[in-house]
Amino acid sequence: MFLVRPQKRRKRNEMKLVGAIQISNNSFFVCKNRNGVLSLRTGKEEKLQKAIVQRMIELNPSIKRMLEDYKIKPTIDTKTLKELAGGHMNETCRVAVGIYSILSENLKKNIKEETIKEASMLHDLGKVLIPSKILNKPAKLNPKEREIMNIHSTLGYELLKTQKINEETLDLIKYHHQNLIHSGYPALNCDHHPSDIGVQIISTADKYSALREARVYRRKLSRIESLLVLYKEVREGKILPEIFDAIVEYARRFDK
Ligand SMILES: [Fe+2]
Ligand SMILES: [Fe+2]
């Protein structure tokens, strides 16, 4: 559950967002009309989705700085948010929870299922600020575009840092493109290390669900093709063999 602090000023005749609450997978926005009457609205409403992301940006000046550094206009792409929340992030959550349930107790003893659930549900939130011409480019990204695309995990972390979300979940969101040999992004901070097993669960679930979805630049891969891509990463030392075994078992049992 996360809350957004009230805004100070509001115009007449306007329904104002005063907070947000997340229950299971559904977002509800707490709104106040000009007479001070509070109401709960569904998170599916585009105007409110924009308002909540806008509020997250206002609460953390480093987001503005990042957008300026990369010359990104701070526009909020709610179509992307809707697609991500209803599709890819939801599916990644399903796969991540599946991997978690198959892993041995010893391997997952330091990470809670709730953390895995929350991080996978929110892992790509930062993409809401990535220009859609980069996000939906039907061809290979050039180096500059790739650089911009790769900040989505840090942007997601910065957006959610202002919310009541625990550090471990935030770490997993920030490092969901890291791997076991630490050649992913963003670079790891030497003083602070996220849970390797947590990152492995989220990142492997993310890759598998992405490979199983069609993209503008490629078709949807089959179950076997997707597992082969992941196996290559096991051989490169990027994915833990136990995580790979768990995803093979997940695919056999649940991905028909
Ligand atoms: Fe991502
Ligand atoms: Fe993702």
What is the domain-level CATH number for residue 157?
Answer: 1.10.3210.10
Note the ligand closest to the C-alpha atom of 172. 1
* Distance (Å) from CA 130 to ligand 1 centroid: 11
Res. 141: pLDDT tops 50: yes
Tell me the pLDDT tens digit for each residue of 190-217: 777 777 899 999 999 999 999 999 988 8
> Whole-angstrom Cα distance, residue 43 to residue 52?
9
Q: Are 121 and 2 in contact (CB under 8 A)?
A: no
User: Does any domain span residue 54?
Assistant: yes
pLDDT band at 150 (very low <50, low <70, confident <90, very high): very high
* Distance (Å) from CA 24 to ligand 2 centroid: 19
Note the ligand closest to the C-alpha atom of 178. 1
Res. 223: pLDDT tops 70: yes
User: Does any domain span residue 38?
Assistant: no
* Distance (Å) from CA 27 to ligand 1 centroid: 21
User: Does any domain span residue 83?
Assistant: yes
> Whole-angstrom Cα distance, residue 79 to residue 180?
33
Average pLDDT over residues 221-244: 97
* Distance (Å) from CA 191 to ligand 2 centroid: 26
* Distance (Å) from CA 209 to ligand 2 centroid: 8
* Distance (Å) from CA 89 to ligand 2 centroid: 6
Residue 131 bridge partners (DSSP) = none
pTM of the shown model: 0.82
User: Does any domain span residue 40?
Assistant: no
* Distance (Å) from CA 92 to ligand 1 centroid: 10
* Distance (Å) from CA 220 to ligand 2 centroid: 15
Mean per-residue pLDDT over the chain, rounded: 85
User: Does any domain span residue 58?
Assistant: yes
Q: Are 49 and 43 in contact (CB under 8 A)?
A: yes
User: Does any domain span residue 22?
Assistant: no
* Distance (Å) from CA 2 to ligand 1 centroid: 21
pLDDT band at 66 (very low <50, low <70, confident <90, very high): very high
* Distance (Å) from CA 173 to ligand 1 centroid: 8
* Distance (Å) from CA 206 to ligand 2 centroid: 5
User: Does any domain span residue 205?
Assistant: yes
Average pLDDT over residues 151-165: 90
Which residues are within 8 A (CB) of 214 and not within 5 positions of it... i.e. 6 or more apart? 220
Question: What are the CA-CA distances from residue 239 to residues 59, 74, 212 (Å)?
Answer: 36, 35, 18
User: Does any domain span residue 25?
Assistant: no
> For the chain, how many structural domains are there in total?
1
Note the ligand closest to the C-alpha atom of 153. 1
Q: Which domain holds residue 117?
A: 46-254
